[in-house]
Amino acid sequence: MTTTSPTPGPRAPRFSRRALLPAAVAGVLVLSACGSSDPLAEDDQSAGSDDGAVTVGSADFPESQIIAELYAGVLRDAGVEATTEPGIGAREAYVSAVEDGSIDLVPDYTGNLLLYVDSESKAASADEIMAELPDALPEGLTVLEPSEAENKDAMVVTQDTADEYSLTSISDMASVCGELVIAGPPEFQERAYGLPGLESKYNCVPESFEPINDGGGSLTVDTLTRGDADVANIFTTTPAIEEQNLVVLEDPENNFIAQQVIPLAAEDRLPEGSEDALNELSSKLTTEDLIELNQAVSGDGAVSPQQAAQKWLEENGYDAA
Amino acid sequence: MNLLSGMWQWLTDPTNWTGTGAIPARMLEHVAYSGVVMLVAVLVAVPLGLLVGHTGRGAGVVIGVSGALRALPTLGLLTLFSLLMGLGLVPPLLALVILAVPPILTATYAGVAEVDPAVKDAAKAQGMTPGQVLGHVEVPLALPVAMGGIRNAALQVIATATVAAYINLGGLGRYLIDGLAVRDYSRMLGSVLLVAVLALAADAVLAALQRAVSSPGIRTSPTEK
């Protein structure tokens, strides 16, 4: 069984080396099939489903690895053999890994997955995206039910700022926008969802924008909590949102497109019962869960994604051993 | 080829040359950051280097600490200082001063320490006080080497001052970091060229200065004893 390593090594060689394994297994199976009485009966089987085991891949960041471990856990709980293949790489790498059969299943995010397969799409809300996504996927790929859990860009303020200006959504910002300083990654100045989107969708032009180049990390959060900025662009599953009691502003105009967690799978390669188990997990998982899980794998006393997922599964009544 | 023509387009686009975030303004910011950093670094490192070189005391510590400081990554220091002090000019300038001090310090020390003991003895024999030996003999003889350290530091500071744009400051790094964020490689390449031009220009100015301040007696071969 493949085990999770908390610090994945160099990615490209690791991926290609591992990708060979299922191919080799398939080769052996084909050879052994030749010796049986009816070789043709085995011919159309693909590598991933031969032994009824599911290989769950993940992207190369902790949250994806945690969700992959959750998927593997609920599959085992449902009696399906499952292993994980963590840290495959960026979307280009793991989507083609599903297509070529080296993995059977991978967690993804609805908005970015749709834009990956259809860069022209204008869908923004969760429903719009799910209306387009299944049909936009290439042959052989399928998605299951999306989860309510979401990791997307958001406008975040401190509790004090929210109280001072009575902010609950970005619409509330519009009237006071000229007094607010927004901090975020440099691309926020230019991307469609950034300052241009705030202006066109919410008529919001901030007093100033402070670029902080740490991808919504601790420096950006620090800028917000210190008061150097009033609003920050960070991800909805950032642990600091809970730790610092920050307020995520609602986005009624869908300036930031929905990014629900969703299982991307190879069509017809998931064994009986897998779909129900994964859909049940998706219905249970929340954004708050993701924050807590991200918290568990970062900072002091961090545990591995596998351990964090294990703990969540146990707390939620799964037997994932 | 495409990249180069893109870079050229970016550099020659008139809209990039006027306004608040335009190239002249960014260059001025870049020069200002680098100038302040160099001023502070020279004020810290030159007296310390002279003192250690003149007395010969603490040389091991100074060389050791300088070496250790050189190993500190500026971006790491910037992040650390920003987390400790918040945003503002102090974190990047402090991080850059830490980058600039070691080459100036070691060069000044080496310049003074390498002055021929016989020359110093001769100065003393003529009745010069220790202060006069330092001011009239050691400093003039050490200047070319010390200036070499300052030139070295200036090149590093101008090239590294781009990190100021990692946080919400300006300078030519703004184009580099913003360009990378939106994969605009023409803009990145253009700003890199501007940084290089700035560094070379500064080095030319300092080289002229180095020549001007060198004592005529040692001008032809500044690094020889």
Q: What is the pLDDT of residue B221?
A: 52
- The residue of chain A nearest to residue B88, with distances taken between CA atoms, is A228
A192 touches chain B (CB under 8 A): no
Tally the domains of chain B. Answer: 1
CA distance linking residue A291 with residue A309, whole number of Å: 12
CA distance linking residue B62 with residue B10, whole number of Å: 45
Within 10 Å of residue A155's Cβ, how many Cβ atoms?
25
Q: Do A214 and B165 touch (CB under 8 A)?
A: no
Residue-range definition of the domain harbouring residue B36? 26-216
**Dihedrals phi, psi of B135, to nearest 5 degrees:** -70, -40
Domains, chain A, ordered by start: 11-150+261-315 (3.40.190.10), 153-248 (3.40.190.120)
CA distance linking residue A229 with residue A234, whole number of Å: 13
Within 10 Å of residue A32's Cβ, how many Cβ atoms?
11
B223 in any annotated domain: no
Q: Which residues of B touch A213 (CB under 8 A)?
A: 165-167, 177, 181
B127-150 burial: b if 16+ Cβ within 10 Å, else e? ebeeeebbeebbbbbbbbbbbbbb
Q: What is the pLDDT of residue A216?
A: 85
B43 in any annotated domain: yes
B69 in any annotated domain: yes
A58 touches chain B (CB under 8 A): no
Per-residue model confidence as pLDDT tens digits over B37-73: 999 999 999 999 999 998 888 888 988 998 899 889 9
A241 touches chain B (CB under 8 A): no
C-alpha angle A115/A286/A240, rounded to 5°? 90
Task: Identify the CATH number of the domain in which residue B92 sits.
Answer: 1.10.3720.10
User: Model-level pTM?
Assistant: 0.76
Per-residue model confidence as pLDDT tens digits over B126-183: 999 988 999 999 999 999 999 999 999 999 999 999 999 999 899 999 999 999 888 8
Residues 16-75 of B with CB under 8 A from A: none
Token pair 């809970």: residue: A242
B76 in any annotated domain: yes
In 3D space, the residue among A155, A92, A153, A91 whose CA is nearest the CA of residue A124 turns out to be: A153
* Residues in Cβ contact with A321 at an 8 Å cutoff, skipping those fewer than 6 apart: A76
Q: Do B82 and A219 touch (CB under 8 A)?
A: yes
Q: Strand A153-157 and strand A261-266: pairing?
A: unpaired
Q: What is the pLDDT of residue B182?
A: 83
Q: What is the pLDDT along chain A (321 residues), one digit of tens a residue?
A: 444 444 443 444 444 444 444 444 444 444 444 444 444 444 444 444 445 789 999 998 899 999 999 999 999 999 999 999 998 988 889 999 999 999 999 999 999 999 999 989 999 999 999 999 999 999 999 999 999 999 999 999 999 999 999 999 999 998 899 999 999 999 899 888 899 999 999 999 999 999 998 888 889 999 999 999 999 999 999 999 999 999 999 999 999 999 999 999 999 889 989 999 999 999 999 999 999 999 999 877 889 999 999 999 999 998 755
Q: What is the pLDDT of residue A31?
A: 45
Per-residue model confidence as pLDDT tens digits over B85-135: 988 999 999 999 999 999 999 999 999 999 999 999 999 999 999 889 999
ipTM for the whole complex: 0.78
Give the closest of B82, B86, B168 to A211, CB-based. Answer: B168
The helix/strand/coil state of A291 is: helix
A222 touches chain B (CB under 8 A): yes
Q: What is the pLDDT of residue B1?
A: 54
B115 in any annotated domain: yes
B193 in any annotated domain: yes
Q: What is the pLDDT of residue A321?
A: 57
Helix axes B139-160, B90-113, angle to 10 degrees: 150
B18 in any annotated domain: no
Tokens representing A146 are 């999306």
CA distance linking residue A106 with residue B203, whole number of Å: 54
How many angstroms away from the CA of B79 is the closest CA of chain A?
Answer: 7
* DSSP codes joined into one string, B13-73: -GGGSSSTTSHHHHHHHHHHHHHHHHHHHHHHHHHHHHHHHHH-TTHHHHHHHHHHHHTS-
B40 in any annotated domain: yes
Q: What is the pLDDT of residue A37?
A: 43
